[in-house]
Amino acid sequence: VNGQIEIPVVVNVLYSSSAENISLAQIQSQIDVLNQDFNGQNTDFNQVPTTFSGAKANVGISFVLETVNRKSTRKTSWGTRDTMKNAKRGGIDATSPDTKLNLWVCTIGGGILGYAQFPGGSPSTDGVVIDSRYFGTTGTATYPFNKGRTATHEVGHWLNLRHIWGDTTCGNDQVNDTPSHNTANYGCPSYPHYSTCSGSPIEMTMNYMDYTDDACMYMFSNGQKDRMLATFAPGGPRSSFAQ
Ligand code: ARG
Ligand code: ZN
Ligand code: CA
């Protein structure tokens, strides 16, 4: 894959109140964050500690808002079972999921900020769901998840990234330049935060694939970049997106 990859984005908004029917400005603020975070243009990119300055990545993927679909509903929380992606069940069907990233914005419930489908799943449910209160940086976006990083994290999953702690104690995220983490980090850890995993590395708590607050995550690594870009390569699960 050579050069910049451009991803058309379709945003599907399901609302049961006027607050949930988020503004175009809030939607655009989220697209802007994705473009910054995936291109090393986020204003906090320079906060990456020098320990990780060789690892921090400009991923080189850009996002273009193509369509916003809106639908009024009586459902006040949608859960994580993909019903929001199905018009027959009151949701909004995915638009051209092989060539466009579909985002669904609705109230999920259960304290879930967002969730994503990994590459290789059913096209009809492909994409990312984000709770409207954790989407973008303006309007209803709510601290400490009001910097658009839930979508950055979930698009990381959509491009095959695992959590940095590998979803188990000192687990493997299949990325070589990310250190082993004991488990998920929350809030805003102070630097350096040492792992008790083998070798006691300093944890990369500022990585988007951890669980810290939005203001405390500001990098992908080069190994994560390689893993994401591999999905677009010929024969890769997202090759239909490559130009
Ligand atoms: N799937 C995760 C959750 O719902 C997303 C975490 C995103 N973290 C963040 N700082 N925005 O909990
Ligand atoms: Zn996650
Ligand atoms: Ca690793």
pTM of the predicted structure, to 2 decimals: 0.98
Map tokens 């069907």 to a residue: 93
| C-alpha of residue 33 to centroid of ligand 3, in Å | 25
Specify the ligand 1 atom closest to the Cα of 153: 7
Q: Which of 30, 44, 80, 113 to mutate to test the pocket of ligand 1 (most atoms within 8 A of CB)?
A: 113
- State both tokens at 105: 């914005």
* pLDDT at position 1: 46
Indicate the DSSP class of residue 145: S
Which residue, 73, 136, 77, 72, is CA-closest to 103? 136
In the chain, the percentage of residues whose pLDDT exceeds 90 is 98
CA distance 218 to 37: 7
Closest atom of ligand 1 relative to the 115 alpha carbon: 1
Cβ pair 74, 20 in contact under 8 A? no
Ligand 1 — pocket residues by CB below 6 A?
Answer: 112-115, 145, 149-150, 153, 211-214, 217
Residue count (the chain): 243
CA of residue 94 to ligand 1 center, whole Å: 22
Q: How far is the CA of 112 from the centre of ligand 3 (A)?
A: 25
Q: pLDDT tens, 180-215?
A: 999 999 999 999 999 999 999 999 999 999 999 999
Single-letter residue type at 73: T
Q: What is the ipTM of this complex?
A: 0.94
